[in-house]
A and B are shown apart, each in its own frame.
Chain A
Amino acid sequence: MTMIQVRNLMKSFGENHVLKDISIDIAEKEVVCIIGASGSGKSTFLRCLNRLEDITSGHVLIENVDITSKKTNINKVRQEVGMVFQHFNLFPHKSVIENIILGPMKARGVPKIEAEQQARELLGKVGLSEKEKAYPASLSGGQKQRVAIARSLAMNPKIMLFDEPTSALDPEMVGEVLQVMKQLAKEGMTMVVVTHEMGFAKEVADRVIYIDEGLIVEENEPLQLFNNPQNERTKAFLSKVLV
């Protein structure tokens, strides 16, 4: 089944045409990694998938629902599409568990007891059971990102979007976050991951997409794309990042 369909997606900020013409299908349980140079439009693309950015033209369908349509209740769609940010964006005035139960309680109307129970299970899953009452300020970067992932998962999303989830982390904390993401992939989550972690892409991705100047230049299975890139621009990019 196709989870995400993108058709002729274009996105401009004024005169700056960031996404020029992007079409792609992403299947259920597929893990897609997006790579590309800084400013090439990776984040913008990801943010169009849950309409954090308004789409200039084209269509994005999530489970066959056109989120560009005015009639679509975007809040409902977003409940099914989790997003993890480079800078975590935890709510600093709320404890770890309060961060996690906010979405289920307010967006889905889950009773508090139930939401807390689920939050504890998720905290166990990301290895942070003992941090339930802690505030974000007291956590390390890796812990923050794992809480952020748990917070997204609490909505029971069908799709998870990750925008450079490990870029803001100290090197020694990258592993613990990638570990959680690998586990998710194994459980069959549909994932779109913007990343500079080529090792992760190689190991986990079903498909890697190279974006440059707002266009998909090349896409392939990770081993194919990394070892045998077809396009000159892909080659140039990879030679810079794969040292």
Chain B
Amino acid sequence: MEVIMKSLPYLFDGLQVTLKVFVIAIIIGFFLGLIVALLRLSPFFILRWIAKFFVDAIRGTPILVQLFFIYFGLNTLEFISLDRMTAGILTIAINAGAYYAEIMRAGIQSIDRGQDEAARSLGLTNVQSMKFVILPQAFRRMLPTFTNQAIISLKDTSLLSVIGIADLTQRGQVQIAATFKAFEIWIVVGVLYFIIIYLLSLLSSFLERRFKLS
């Protein structure tokens, strides 16, 4: 017990790093996903193709390989130098972005065509129709899937420990090396992840209920 209490502050530091990586990555990933989804729905073949290639490439490779490629691979190029934090956040963001893109594409396409037609009949531009009519409805519909993907991304952050980012997982390893209490420490680490994920899903169902009311 004492060991655990002693290592808690270190683990909390790690948790902070995990949350920081997660929040930044998920925000970037969200907008990346939105852009890629819109490209996939654009009338231009070449843009659609680029977007599809990106999504397929990310979904068709392990995230660990993506991480190594970005951190070790890209960094061999002379004009690129990414510190581990940037590389880590980028990996999670790009990975989430590809999945978000698919979720958003499906969500946008699930909105009845009549909605866009009604908006454009009023004289709204395509962009305005997307922004004020299609996306707000699509996002509401996608919220549960969004949360799922966010939870997956949060878990993925634990992989960043392998390039030496001092996240919750990596701090756990360090604490075990110092205390030899593998059993207790991994339980604490697991519980901390669990609490965060539980809070995320609570937030999601709260938002869902709020949207339902309106």
B181 at the interface (CB under 8 A from A): no
CA distance A224 to B137 in the complex (A): 48
Interface residues in A108-153 by Cβ distance below 8 A to B read: 108, 135, 148, 151-152
A78 at the interface (CB under 8 A from B): yes
Pick from A52, A90, A106, A108: contact of B121, CB under 8 Å: A52
List residues of chain B with CB within 8 A of the CB of A82. 121-122
A102-B132, A106-B128, A135-B214 known; A91 vs B121 contact (CB < 8 Å): no
B137 and A92 within 8 A (CB): yes
Interface residues in A155-213 by Cβ distance below 8 A to B read: 155
List residues of chain B with CB within 8 A of the CB of A87. 114
A152 and B122 within 8 A (CB): yes
B114 and A107 within 8 A (CB): no
A71 at the interface (CB under 8 A from B): no
B179 shortest CB reach to chain A, Å: 53
CA distance A87 to B117 in the complex (A): 12
Dominant secondary structure of chain B at its interface with chain A = helix
How does the 8 Å CB contact mask read for A77-103 relative to B, with 1 for contact and 0 for none? Answer: 011011101010111110100000011
Q: Which residue of B lies closest to A82 (CB)?
A: B121
Pick from B120, B123, B133: contact of A91, CB under 8 Å: B133
List residues of chain B with CB within 8 A of the CB of A79. 122-123
Among A76, A79, A87, A107, which residue has the most Cβ atoms of chain B within 10 A? A107
B125 and A89 within 8 A (CB): no
Interface residues in A57-75 by Cβ distance below 8 A to B read: 75
A106 and B120 within 8 A (CB): no
CA distance A151 to B123 in the complex (A): 12
A106 and B115 within 8 A (CB): no
B115 and A108 within 8 A (CB): no
How does the 8 Å CB contact mask read for B120-142 relative to A, with 1 for contact and 0 for none? Answer: 11111100100011001100100
List residues of chain A with CB within 8 A of the CB of B119. 91, 102
Task: Number of A interface residues at 8 Å Cβ cutoff, please give it.
Answer: 27
CA distance A106 to B122 in the complex (A): 9
List residues of chain B with CB within 8 A of the CB of A81. 121
A155 and B114 within 8 A (CB): no
Pick from A78, A83, A93: contact of B140, CB under 8 Å: A93
A44 at the interface (CB under 8 A from B): no
B120 and A78 within 8 A (CB): yes
B116 shortest CB reach to chain A, Å: 9
B64 at the interface (CB under 8 A from A): no
Pick from B112, B123, B133: contact of A76, CB under 8 Å: B123
Q: Which residue of B lies closest to A151 (CB)?
A: B122
A residues lining the B interface (CB < 8 Å): 50, 52, 75-76, 78-79, 81-83, 85, 87, 89-93, 95, 102-103, 106-108, 135, 148, 151-152, 155
B residues lining the A interface (CB < 8 Å): 112, 114-115, 117-125, 128, 132-133, 136-137, 140, 214
**28 A-B pairs in the complex with CB atoms less than 8 angstroms apart:** A50-B121, A52-B121, A75-B124, A76-B123, A78-B120, A78-B121, A78-B122, A78-B123, A79-B123, A82-B121, A83-B118, A85-B114, A87-B114, A89-B114, A90-B118, A91-B118, A93-B136, A95-B214, A102-B119, A102-B132, A103-B122, A106-B124, A106-B128, A107-B124, A108-B123, A148-B118, A152-B122, A155-B123
A-B pairs, 7 with minimum CB distance: A103-B122, A79-B123, A89-B118, A107-B123, A89-B114, A83-B121, A78-B123
Other than the known A52-B121, A108-B123, what 10 A-B pairs have Cβ atoms closer than 8 Å? A52-B117, A75-B125, A79-B123, A93-B214, A102-B119, A102-B124, A102-B133, A107-B122, A107-B124, A152-B121
